[in-house]
Structures are given as structure tokens and as C-alpha cells.
Chains A and B, each alone.
Chain A
Amino acid sequence: MIEVNGLVKNYGPKRAVDGVSFTVRKGDILGFLGPNGAGKSTTMKMITGFLRPTAGTAVVDGHDVTRDPVAVKRRLGYLPESAPAYGEMTVAEFLAFIAETRGYRDAAARRERVERAINLTHLESVRAQAIETLSKGYKQRVGFAQALLHDPAVLILDEPTDGLDPNQKHEVRSLIKKMAADKAVVLSTHILEEVEAICTRVIIINHGKVVVDETPEQFRARRPGARLDEIFRSLTTADA
């Protein structure tokens, strides 16, 4: 579903992402880990077609993002970090706008899409409220609703549980798990338990390079008995 081939991104003289390659298959939930500034968000933004890679490419569902970004964007749902949205719109208005832009021109089809997204993310109670008045947890859910509105084959989630309380985190995780069977999901996170809880694969990225690409079990087996964050620390500070 997603094939990432040697992605490189330079910001001026600084190389933020340095030859990242991996593949994600249908049914995979890939946990994308790494210290702040390691290049997680940049890599994700390149896969979504928002940033143009300096070199390399990503192929999403058979479409090369450097050649046909719009085709990739059609097939992909993306939750950007901190879930930006047009704050002055109500939840329902905003989702209707997303649906219309995503090509649901028919009013009935659009309403059905919006209803489905609202139900999936439990936004019924705030549907007529302006997004800027919502709490962080609800805003995050609006971002979620927007990302999965068109039932995309690929979901890219940048810190989907950031800022949520434990109940909301649990809910978001079960939602991701529920949807993942027929999708390829990439999610970035700082929370190592999250990886254990839902991910089928772990990639750790440090200084723009992939340092680990394995299953959570293999990751844990690196140092039996050690806590996950200890393993993470030893992998991401050793070469710093």
C-alpha cells in the first residue's frame, strides 16, 4: 500500500530526513517513533504530498506522490499534528466542506459521509458547535473524522493521541484498530505503550535515518526484561 523509497528532505543546509525507506502493507499499523526533530513529521508530510521530497519518492496505492500528488491525496487520509481545522466553522459544516472537496457533490451522499464520520468519532453532541470552541480531545476527533471521511485505503496519523486523556486515548486506539483491517496505517507517537497496544510494526527514526524496523515483539526481545523506553533511549542516544 505504501512504499517509501529513499526519501530525503533538506531544509537549507540541514538534512532533516536522510534516505528513509520502508513499506507498509494492508492491515499493518506502523508505529513511527523517534525523538523530537528526528524527521517523523517531515517524512509523513512527504508521503502525503504536502512537502516535496529533495530526493526519493513514496508510492501510495500504486501512485507516485512526486508524479501525481492529487491521486495520492485522493486515496489518503491525513491527520496533521495538533489537528488543524477552520475554527470558525461548525463540526458539521467543516466535515461537509471536506466531503465536498473530496468529490462528494451529491448532497445525500455527502450527508451520509458526514454522518458516518460523526458517528465513528462520537461527535454527535458537538456537531453544531464552532470548532474553535471545542476542547482539545474533541478537536482531535474532528481531525480524525476529517481523515477517515472518505474511507481511505491509507491513513497517516501524526500523533493521533497527543493531548488526549486516558479514556480518549483508549477510544482512539480501538478506533484505529477497528479500521486497520483493510487499511494501511502509519501513526507517529511518543508513547511506547501505544506501540505495544496497537502497532504491528515499529520503525524508529533518529537523525533522519531508520534505525529500527521490526515487530513490537522483536523490539522487546532486544533486551529481555528491559522497559521499552530504556531500549528506545539506548537506540536513539548512542550515536548522538
Chain B
Amino acid sequence: MSPITPVLKREFLGYFRSPVAYVFLVVFLAASVGLAFFVGRFFDNGQASLESYFVFHPWLFLFLIPAVGMRLWSEEKRTGTVELLFTLPVTTLQAVLAKFFAAWIFLGIAILLGVVPMAATVGYLGDPDWGVMISSTLGSLLMAGAYLGVCSLMSSLTKNQVISFVLGVIACLVLLFLGWSVFNDVLYAAFPVWLADLLANFSFASHFDAFTRGIIDPKDVVYFLSVAGFSLFLNVLALER
């Protein structure tokens, strides 16, 4: 058995040993549900769907996932435990994967804690399309993984958590804005069409969109997984420098 399990377990339980987990869960649930109710007009829509809930996820993740990801490596570097971790018989890849999956599972729990009661509400009040809800949830989980991969990479670049957070937000912001129409116009004005198309294709938002409409396109799944995978690959390189 590989040492991934104990490292993952320690990291995951670590969230609950400190107030981090509870603060995050409360903020995430309050913000995601609050946005759906007050900005998304969840009830006024009169529709049995979670569209007004999921539509805010890319924006919510923009701040909340860097908050989870910022400590992944920065904290280890600042407290010196990175030296401890990398003198245990663990390879860099194993450590990177263990920490990533611990954080991803934690985010997954947060997302499900938000989705399940919302879905139950909608199911009680109306007759929702469960398929769309499931695909939206899957999309949200995958998108969280991609955000987290980027933030884990940013965290490995510095031992300062504030810098790590800011870098994470900026990197995710760029990846999100690539698909935003206003930003797209700038892209098309500045670059040849093929390049602008290519760049716009790298947006979190446009790939998440299909999921919220009930379409699970393998292209989108591969996109999110490869953003996470490539970030983690760079993360390993950054740590082995």
C-alpha cells in the first residue's frame, strides 16, 4: 500500500482539527445559498430547478477555493513541516496527490452539503429535472478540482499564504474570464480568431455551462481533469526545484 493514504487522511482530518473546516463550511453554505436566494431570485423564478444555485458557483469558487488551496503547501513551507514530509518515504507526486485529494474530498463534502438540501427543497416543492441537477453537481465537483489544482500550484510557489491566496485568485480569475463575453471581445480584437478561439476554450465558465444544462460532454470532463492534472504536474516540478 502506498503512503498516499496516511498523508491524505492526516491532511483531511487536519481541516477538522482546526476551525478552518467549520468556518469554510459555514461561509460556503451561507454564500452559495444566499446568492441563490437573494441575487438569483431562487423562489421568485417559480421554477423547480437549481439553475439559480449553480450559476454562481464559478464566482463563488473564485474566492473560496483559493482560501482552501492557499494553505496546502505554503503552510508546510512556513512551519518547516515540508522538511518532515519529504524525509518520510513519500515521493513528491504521492504527497501532491494526497494533499490534493484530501482538499478535493473536503470541497466535495461542502458542495454536497449545499446541493442536497437545496435539491430536497426543490423536489418537495415541485417536479425538478433530476438529471440536470446531477450533471450540474458533477460539473461543480469537477470545476472545483480544476480550481483547486491551480491553487495548489500557486501555494507551492510561496511560503506566504496571503501571496498564495492572491496568486490563486488571479490565476483562477484569468481562467474564468477567458470565456466571459466582454473579455472575449477584447480577445478577438487583440488576437487572430484561431488563437482567440483557443484561449476562450480554456475558460472554466464555458465548460461548466454545459453541465448546468444537463449535458455531460466528455470534452468538458477531460478539460477540467486536465487543468487539474497539468497544474499538479507543475506543482510537482515546483516542489522538486
Q: A residues within 8 Å of B by Cβ?
A: 45, 48-50, 52, 70-71, 73-74, 76, 78, 80-82, 84-89, 97-98, 100-103, 105, 146
Contacts and interface: CB of A to CB of B under 8 A. Distances in A.
Contact of A78 (B10, B18, B79, B87): B87
Contact of A80 (B1, B5, B14, B87): B87
Nearest to B88: A101
Contacts of B6: 97, 100-101
A52 B240 contact: yes
B86 interface: yes
Contacts of B80: 80-82, 84
A85 B80 CA distance: 8
Given A70-B91, A97-B10, A100-B6, A84 B18 contact: no
Interface in B207-233: none
B83 A98 contact: no
19 contacts: A49-B87, A50-B86, A70-B89, A73-B88, A78-B87, A80-B84, A84-B80, A84-B84, A86-B81, A87-B79, A88-B14, A88-B17, A88-B18, A89-B10, A89-B14, A97-B9, A100-B6, A102-B88, A146-B84
A102 to B, nearest CB: 6
Given A52-B240, A84-B80, A101-B3, A73 B10 contact: no
A52 to B, nearest CB: 7
Contacts of B88: 73, 98, 101-102
B87 A101 contact: no
Interface residues of B, number: 22
Nearest to A45: B83
Nearest to A105: B1
A113 B188 CA distance: 63
Given A52-B240, A105-B1, A86 B10 contact: yes
A80 B6 CA distance: 21
Contacts of B17: 88-89
A76 B7 contact: no
B90 interface: yes
A203 B9 CA distance: 41
Contacts of B90: 70, 73, 101
Nearest to B16: A88
A87 to B, nearest CB: 7
A48 B89 CA distance: 11
Interface of B: 1, 3, 5-7, 9-10, 14, 17-18, 79-81, 83-84, 86-91, 240
Given A52-B240, A100-B6, A101-B6, A85 B89 contact: no
A6 to B, nearest CB: 22
Given A80-B80, A103-B3, A105-B1, A86 B14 contact: yes
Given A97-B10, A101-B3, A103-B3, A50 B87 contact: yes
A140 to B, nearest CB: 13
A94 B55 CA distance: 41
Contacts of B14: 86, 88-89
Sorted nearest first, the 5 A-B pairs with minimum C-beta distance are A84-B80, A100-B6, A88-B17, A80-B83, A74-B89
Contacts of B18: 88
A85 B81 contact: yes
A103 B89 contact: yes
B79 to A, nearest CB: 6
B42 to A, nearest CB: 37
B93 to A, nearest CB: 11
A48 B90 CA distance: 13
Nearest to B241: A52
Contact of B89 (A50, A73, A89, A105): A73
A101 B91 CA distance: 11
A80 B79 CA distance: 11
B53 to A, nearest CB: 33
Given A86-B14, A87-B79, A97-B9, 14 more contacts: A49-B87, A73-B89, A80-B80, A80-B83, A81-B80, A84-B81, A84-B83, A86-B10, A101-B3, A101-B6, A101-B89, A101-B90, A103-B3, A105-B1
